[in-house]
Amino acid sequence: MLSRCRGLWRAAVLFIAFTCTYLVVHAAPTDVPSAASFYVSSLPGLRQDPSHPLHIYAGQLPSDPNAASVPSTAITAHLFFVLTKARRVADKERLIFWFNGGPGCSSFDGLMMEIGPWRMDKDGNLNVTNGGWEEYTNVVYVDQPAGTGYSYTSTDRYVHELSDASQQVVHFMRWFYRVFPEYKEMDTYLAGESYAGQYIPYFADAILSSDLNIPFKGVAIGNGWIDGRRQYPSFLDYAVKHGLVEANSEDYKRSKDITDQCMAELDKITDREPINVPICERVMMAVLEGKEKDGKCVNVYDVRLTDTVPSCGLNWPADLEYVTPYLGRQDVVQSLHATAHSQSWVECRGRVGQELTNHNSQSSITLLPKVVERIPVLLFAGDQDFICNYVGVEGLIQAMEWGGEKGLGKVQTQSWTVNNQPAGTWVSSRNLTYAKIFNASHMVGYDAPHVAHDMMLRFMGVNFSSLVEGTAGIPSSVGEEKKPELGEAKEVETGAPQSGKSPEQDKAMWEAYYNAGSAALVLVLILAAIALFFWCRVRRRRGLRLPMLNTGFGSNNHGNTNGSGSMEESIPLTQTDGEELDDFRLKRNGGNGKGKERAVDPLTPVMFSVGEDEEDEEKSPRR
């Protein structure tokens, strides 16, 4: 009986410990905020489509991989994000992380003016429109590096290298998947424009080298700054091709001189591929100098337009006039859970770009071939952009070596139509797709939302015949291959009864139920263990007295009884089991810029704060 009770007690202790550990691991973690806490229940001025309403999440997540090693009082990196969930059912669930460029420009550019679900009017209303990428895909817009947009860190912790920015993004993604674990199994893509041509190859390489273990399916870069050696000389080539500079004119000779100086400097750099070269940064505006007249200059993001000198595009797009004050409103900041960022929102924060010196980072063209050999890559370019123009993008593609060959090879470039109108050209070779979009600027989605959307759906391999409604029904073709018509399949039934609450409220409710149930189960198990303990002690005592009760003989038996009592006291049940439990606890607990920002202002002194005033933002063309 003694050994039986001991065995039962040990088994009970081990079972309770295992169960408690399991529940701690599988219950909604208390150190990770719930997804429901990021839900944007309302957004000022948002005019929803009642048939397909938006579900939005937003907030800041820890993004400093070294946060554990810094003082608890330090202000560490937290990247801000906005997640817009897919509004319609597609053939499968997908996730896109979107990044704008700069460096230091907020991805609200993408959300509010490019690929997002709405456009803003002068009255501060967000009008949901067709053509947003969230129609069939979940899209996460990320403000990075820390200090950009609503993201924050202390100014002495701004990143200086693209490798550091990559680690911030990977760490952010770890936290994102902790909060939204259901997204970790979805096909995942990175997309962005402008200086994201540097970011995305670095991010992709970091993700492919990490232990994130996600189904990473591809990257898309629009009008990206990727390879200065090929893109700097493209300014003059593009200008001549598009009639901005007349060949052999005085403007041409002057532009050719500064371009030649740039190329001579690049030729001296043989040990690395530079992201930017100071003398070469003068080429773009020098080429367009002859077009300045009456205080007006060419818009470097859309050569069809002009802007005031010296902005030359910084006041574009026109929507920016309404977006900036809107994102500075306190009711908007609170709705987006961005109150931890103490400064006003600005489109591009110059200090972030200044700090990203990249002294030890090579241009992303050194990584892109390795990336394209592992996952599909889409490079796309609006043909009216100057700052990251298609001539330079085509030049870098033709000079790049991957898959054992150089350039695109002998594949045929095909015509591409959307809604029965010429949309651009399309060519694919060895995992790389290049799309040129007609009549589109630096921000392709701003000018041609349906074309950009069709492009991304094609790149992701969406099965159009499985879709039943929406803008995917707009006809399009690449070459002779026409998009299939939308299918007749019915939307997936969830089978779950409707509770009258939103999915986010339901999720929060079930998280609470699960945690409460887990706590109750642990309590029941502990009470059961205590009851078992006392039961074993009672049974043990009775078992040790049995010889005395059954003999019925004289005083010797009393002596035996006393001896038995002494034996009971010397049996180390409590001591041994306690030591084993302590050992178990010890083992468990103690075991193991190129974009809308080119920062050229002198660096301001380091401030131990989370940002700087808007007056500190520089005003020069940004990539």
Q: Where are the domains of the chain?
A: 2-26+507-571, 35-227+317-488+596-616
Query: Which one of 341, 442, 476, 518 is the catalytic residue?
Result: 442
The token duo for 480 is: 């002779």
pLDDT in tens, 474-501: 999 999 999 998 874 444 333 333 344 4
Of 277-286, 391-400, 523-532, the least confident? 523-532
Asked if the model's pLDDT at residue 36 lies above 60, the reply is: yes
Average pLDDT over residues 352-360: 95
Per-residue pLDDT at 620? 54
Per-residue pLDDT at 456? 98
Q: How many whole angstroms separate alpha carbon 157 and alpha carbon 163? A: 14
Per-residue pLDDT at 485? 87
Read off the amino acid at residue 256.
Answer: K
Q: How many whole angstroms separate alpha carbon 132 and alpha carbon 62? A: 28
**Where do the DSSP E strands lie in 27-109?**
46-47, 56-62, 78-84, 94-99
Contact (CB, 8 A) for 117 and 129:
yes
Calculate the alpha carbon distances from 275 to 68, 135, 357, 613 in Å: 32, 35, 10, 28
The three-state secondary structure class of 355 is helix
Asked if the model's pLDDT at residue 515 lies above 90, the reply is: no
Per-residue pLDDT at 534? 56
Instruction: Select the more confidently predicted residue: 586 or 269.
Output: 269
Percent of the chain with pLDDT over 70: 74
Calculate the alpha carbon distances from 599 to 29, 102, 104, 280, 593 in Å: 41, 9, 9, 14, 7
Asked if the model's pLDDT at residue 552 lies above 80, the reply is: no
pLDDT band at 587 (very low <50, low <70, confident <90, very high): very low
pLDDT in tens, 182-196: 999 999 999 999 999
Of 117-131, 264-278, 323-337, 532-546, the least confident? 532-546
The token duo for 578 is: 């306690």
pLDDT in tens, 402-453: 999 999 999 999 999 999 999 999 999 999 999 999 999 999 999 999 999 9
Per-residue pLDDT at 524? 53
Active site residue 227: no
CATH architecture of 35-227+317-488+596-616: 3-Layer(aba) Sandwich (3.40)
Average pLDDT over residues 92-98: 98
Contact (CB, 8 A) for 258 and 286:
yes
- Strand-pair partners of 120: 126
Asked if the model's pLDDT at residue 555 lies above 90, the reply is: no
DSSP letters, 299-340, are: -TT-TT-EEETTTTTTT-STTHHHHHHHHH-HHHHHHTT-TT
Per-residue pLDDT at 510? 47
Average pLDDT over residues 567-584: 35
Asked if the model's pLDDT at residue 540 lies above 90, the reply is: no
DSSP letters, 38-58, are: GB----TTEE--TTS---EEE
Q: Crossing angle for the helix pair 2-26 and 503-551, nearest 10 degrees? A: 170
Average pLDDT over residues 608-621: 47
Asked if the model's pLDDT at residue 568 lies above 60, the reply is: no
Q: How many whole angstroms separate alpha carbon 387 and alpha carbon 404? A: 31
Per-residue pLDDT at 526? 58
pLDDT band at 528 (very low <50, low <70, confident <90, very high): low
**Mean pLDDT value across the chain:** 83
**Where do the DSSP E strands lie in 496-578?**
none
Asked if the model's pLDDT at residue 3 lies above 60, the reply is: no
Query: Which one of 154, 194, 255, 363 is the catalytic residue?
Result: 194
Of 34-38, 54-58, 299-303, 608-612, the least confident? 608-612
Per-residue pLDDT at 284? 98
Contact (CB, 8 A) for 157 and 67:
no
Instruction: Select the more confidently predicted residue: 527 or 228.
Output: 228
pLDDT in tens, 590-603: 334 656 554 333 34
User: What is the enclosing helix (H) or strand (E) of 556?
Assistant: helix 555-570
User: What burial class does residue 205 get, using C-beta atoms within 10 Å of its C-beta: 0-12 exposed, 13-18 middle, 19+ buried?
Assistant: buried
Q: How many whole angstroms separate alpha carbon 416 and alpha carbon 457? A: 14
Average pLDDT over residues 206-232: 98
Q: How many whole angstroms separate alpha carbon 278 and alpha carbon 397? A: 24
Per-residue pLDDT at 324? 95
Query: Which one of 164, 385, 447, 454 is the catalytic residue?
Result: 385
Asked if the model's pLDDT at residue 504 lies above 80, the reply is: no
Q: How many whole angstroms separate alpha carbon 390 and alpha carbon 221? A: 12
Q: How many whole angstroms separate alpha carbon 411 and alpha carbon 395? A: 16
pLDDT in tens, 134-165: 999 999 999 999 999 999 999 889 999 999 99
Q: How many whole angstroms separate alpha carbon 449 and alpha carbon 623? A: 21
The token duo for 446 is: 């701003």
The three-state secondary structure class of 467 is coil
Asked if the model's pLDDT at residue 241 lies above 90, the reply is: yes
Calculate the alpha carbon distances from 76 to 168, 206, 445, 542 in Å: 11, 21, 33, 63
Contact (CB, 8 A) for 490 and 468:
yes
Active site residue 442: yes
Nearest CA-CA partner of 236 in 385, 384, 391, 381: 391
Residue 446 neighbours by CB under 8 Å, 6+ apart: 113, 114, 317
Instruction: Report the 10 Å Cβ neighbour count for 2.
Output: 14
Per-residue pLDDT at 343? 86
Average pLDDT over residues 107-125: 96
Active site residue 385: yes
